[in-house]
Amino acid sequence: MTTLIEGKTVAQKIFDNLAHEISLLEKKPSLAVIIVGDDPASKIYVNLKKKKAHELGITSQVIELDESVSEQELLKKIDSLNNDPAVNAILVQMPLPEHINPVNVIEKINPLKDVDCFHPYNIGRIATGNKSYVYPCTPKGIFRLLDFYNIPVEGKHAVVVGRSNIVGRPLAQMLLNENATVTICHSRTKNLSEITKTADILISAAGCPALIKKDMVKDGAVVIDVGINRKSDGKLCGDVDFENVKEKASFITPVPGGVGPMTICSLMCNTMDLFKLQN
Ligand code: NDP
């Protein structure tokens, strides 16, 4: 029996609770989003975040800066938001134009307002096994799914495919902090399938369609697909060959509707957590 992990439904439950909690507050949490330039995909993401914040009763402001803005001007803007007590959470939409160093931008955000959890202080807290102010949105979203479906992590062999700073690396640290035995795989990993076959929990965040095939998965494994890829017909797919792998998995996430909705959900929860921390 395979259980489909329904991220959309889980996210909606969390949104309902969050909206109720916010409705009881006199002062509302507040999120500031900075977008630089006209990248159409970035604009769509920013609008989605703004819309969701509005639905939940979170105050949001979008600061649109011209593509030509200097790094210095952007850092100055972040500083003014850092010093504004009416702003609880700051997000700078990535990617940034080439003349701006994202490291300087991320490090400028006050870790207490770092809603994406990209700042080395917050990431470092997680890497050293301590509690952080917030947790990276996609990894935290995956943890919320595991929690919701009562999937234990302790003592399990978790294999994470992908080592990016926003998904694979922090996710592996968080699994380790929850006492999983963790293996991280990446593009130079040899014998990927030999490793994935030993996973109790297999999480793929590689961005490669059909990377994870049925013969790479252990019977009864929990399979979490972070990948978002576009097929030639325009439809979305994950990294996992869903139709075939689902025959073997005990739990599996679909794409779309699995991990995806949990990322924005974590962003809104992080905004609330930072608001609480500052009040
Ligand atoms: P990156 O491109 O930054 O990282 C991909 C990682 O996968 C790298 O570590 C890379 O290895 C590894 N990798 C690539 N190909 C292979 C392969 N054939 N075998 C093993 N490892 C491989 O991507 P992100 O982490 O930003 O995103 C990963 C995927 O998740 C994308 O599809 C993205 O769209 C999606 N995503 C989904 C989110 C959601 O909300 N559902 C949120 C964020 C991302 P190496 O380091 O050696 O290059």
Cβ atoms of 185 and 160 closer than 8 Å: yes
Q: 183 with 234, same domain? A: yes
Domain count, the chain: 2
Instruction: Tell me the pairing of strands 229-230 and 222-225.
Output: unpaired
Share of the chain above pLDDT 70, in %: 100
Alpha-carbon Rg for the chain, nearest whole angstrom, is 19
Is 61 within a domain?
yes
How would residue 257 be classed by pLDDT, with cut points 50, 70 and 90?
Answer: very high
Q: 52 with 156, same domain? A: no
The pLDDT of residue 29: 98
Q: CB within 8 A of 37, min separation 6: which ones? A: 65, 66, 67, 96, 97
Is 164 within a domain?
yes
Catalytic pick among 77, 114, 116, 246 = 116
Give the model confidence (pLDDT) of 222-250 as tens digits.
999 999 999 999 999 999 999 999 999 99
Give the model confidence (pLDDT) of 102-148 as tens digits.
999 999 999 999 999 999 999 999 999 999 999 999 999 999 999 99
Is 11 within a domain?
no
CA dist 249 and 119 (Å) reads: 35
Q: 143 with 34, same domain? A: no
Report the chain's mean pLDDT, rounded to a whole number.
Answer: 98
How would residue 9 be classed by pLDDT, with cut points 50, 70 and 90?
Answer: very high
Mutation probe of ligand 1 site: the residue of 52, 195, 228 with most atoms within 8 A of C-beta: 228
Is 126 within a domain?
no
Is 274 within a domain?
no
For residue 72, what are the domain limits? Answer: 25-110
Q: 233 with 150, same domain? A: yes
Of 161, 34, 138, the C-alpha closest to 91 is: 34
Q: 97 with 147, same domain? A: no
pTM, two decimals, is: 0.97
Ligand 1 interacting residues, C-beta cut-off 6 A: 138, 161-164, 166-168, 185-189, 192, 205-208, 211, 226-229, 259-260, 263
